[in-house]
Amino acid sequence: MRYMGWESAGTRDITDIFASNGYTTICPDFFLGKEPWKPNNHWHDFADWLKERDPMKVDKTTAVFMKCLKEKYKAMKIGVVGFSWGGMAVHHLMLKNPELKAGISDYGIIRDSEDRYNLLNPTFFIFGGNDHTISPEQVTLLERKLKDYCTVDYKIKVYPGQVHGFAQCKPEDMKPKDVPFMEEARMDMIDWLNRYIMF
């Protein structure tokens, strides 16, 4: 079962995949009607765009959807998955919300806080090896700091040669050599949720 608020086709496709694997899924509009980032926007404008859409100010909206899942669908375990900006939001939520039993942050990390490694529940970080927004050094630092400070299960996986957003792409929009990595990332996400949410 799925419920949509967000209009991104790639994210909606992923939501359908989770729903087809037995999950009740909600794809909320965390931007609350504000314009999303578009691929043809200029990166020098990103900081200004982000000021109006802080991924660390999602707690109230998250609480609304969690309440719905608990009360209407009797959800006992709730997980959260996010992509890019949503990946940053997931990272934040997994540091702040102990009710979220698992998180998946696809190509999004919090960079500007020293208190970003004490995850409360299991979190899976997915990155593309050729991501223009997250450098290999940032992934290495995250891995090192989580090893030093994190006391719950976590996983970091870098998919070789993949770009930012690869796990959300439709197969027909990808080079044939990249499709297996997209499929692998999607199966890895389902496996993570099955491990901590379903069973």
Would residue 44 count as lying in a domain?
no
SS3 157: strand
Would residue 49 count as lying in a domain?
no
Alpha carbon distances (Å) from 73 to 18, 68, 81, 141, 157: 16, 7, 19, 39, 32
For the segment 154-196, what is each residue's pLDDT rounded down to a tens digit?
999 999 999 999 999 888 988 999 999 999 999 999 999 999 9
Would residue 28 count as lying in a domain?
yes
For the segment 27-74, what is each residue's pLDDT rounded down to a tens digit?
888 888 888 878 788 888 888 888 888 899 999 999 999 999 999 999
> How many domains are there within the chain?
1
Domain range holding 185?
A: 2-39+57-198
Would residue 177 count as lying in a domain?
yes
Predicted TM-score of the model (pTM):
0.92
Distance, in Å, from the CA atom of 159 to the CA atom of 163, rounded to the nearest integer, reads: 9
CATH number at residue 81: 3.40.50.1820
Distance, in Å, from the CA atom of 66 to the CA atom of 154, rounded to the nearest integer, reads: 22
